[in-house]
Structure 1
Amino acid sequence: MRTLLVGDTHLKNRVILPIVQEKAQQLNCQQLILMGDYVDEWHQEQNSQLYRQELSFLLNWKQTMMAAGFAVTTLLGNHDGSYLTRTPRLYSLQKHTDFEFVRSQLLQLGLQVAVKSAGFLISHAGLCWGNDLDERYFQVLTEEDLLLVKALEDRVGTARGGRYWNGSPLWADYWQELRDAPNPKYLQQIVGHTTVTSIINEPGRPDSLIAIDTFSINGNHLNNLFGDGSLLLLDQGVPKVIPTNWATSPQVQTYLRHEIFQH
């Protein structure tokens, strides 16, 4: 199954997902996997309208793509998890009613912790050494699963400023936890979460760890986008980097200028 994987979108669904849709159609993909972190972005803690617009677009987009025959998996990210567990953080929406609205929308989205495809274990942040799989990771999360989400959302490793020696599949840091302490049970993994300028695939390593969080922005610097917006294609188990026009698109520049950087 030809699968296209998409890094963290962080309130930029309206400009990222049309690019994904175009590439998926051009490449004759059958499956799409979104890596989580659909909400929160630099300095948007009071911008409830943007959250509402972005989540509405995301929900409609997923339904439209599935109706068109695509299998669409939406993974859970740490930013999403804080809403599900009602654990506001500094970067979350601060008004209670807005926070609860985001929570309800994320539950409707149909999130899961992990998925397997073409021999790869795919999750938001990855399973580093000391973490094991739970079969519930592959199921769509409901209200009854929130204790599981809470355990994952709370387990922040020291690499990310937490109190645990390793992070969960929502929090593992690519450089200091996943890469330096790989899990011998799961040597082929694809992750988002850790921002990278372009997709990282280090084929010389004994494991195969691929980082694809390429839609990140650099604070308030419109002309210095951190990530290049590349996507990852899995075709018969072989990963291939798919470039996009994310960094140069006039539509993207206009959107960021008016929706993100004005606040």
Structure 2
Amino acid sequence: MNATIAMITFRAMLGRRRAVLLFALPLLLAVLAALMRVLDASDLDTAAAVLHGFGFAVLLPLLALIAGTGVIGPEIDDGQIMYVLTKPIPRHTVVLTKLAVAIALVTVFAVVPILLTGLLMAGGTAQLAPAFAAGALAGGITYTAVFVALAVISRNAAVIGLLYVLVWESLLGNFAPGARSASIQQWALSVTDALTPTSYVHASVDLPVAAPLLVAVAAAGAVLAVVRLRSLSVVAAE
């Protein structure tokens, strides 16, 4: 971790137009939860449906995409990253710092709102709220690592990430069991499924399979980002 890089990255993320989305998406979830509460429709089934259907399927991946691509993508696009690469800072430190900032943003703007929404709608029933929060944290870390790697590899990282979320996880995931099983969302949901006894949460992948996949994909994303960033420094030096 590099404190200076982290501080600059936080300041840049919270000062851009991206910050509007960081605040807007959790606000939508809060409004939806409050509306369900007012309408007295916040039973366990509804709470699980909202947390999965909006929290896991929309809020978590989109915020991870915004944070993961935003912490490093713009710097690569405008060439500012070369200023960092000329400093005596190991490339893995740069990547891990950017990744840590992105994970912190996802935790604050996605995981915490999911936890609070679960508590608002279901209270402590069936440990639904902490179970969804744990799953969101596990999935958020993996999503973020993948999107940071995409941001280092491609200038079209946001588009590629959005296609993955909308086409692979949302569209194909509803019709193709294979696509659903190879989904970060389902792997994260398996964590939630293992932590709550309610039958309203059901993942397509068992936890003994999903947990190693979450760790492996997150690690692969971080390693790939480091390797690619090292090649950027070589190109700049030449």
Q: Which has the larger radius of gyration?
A: 2
Do they superpose with TM above 0.5? no
Which structure dedicates a bigger proportion of its chain to strand? 1
Please classify the TM superposition score into its range, dividing by the shorter chain length: under 0.3
TM-score under structure 1 length normalisation:
0.21
- Bigger relative contact order, structure 1 or 2, given CA contacts below 8 A and separation 6+? 2
TM-score under structure 2 length normalisation:
0.23
Which structure dedicates a bigger proportion of its chain to helix? 2
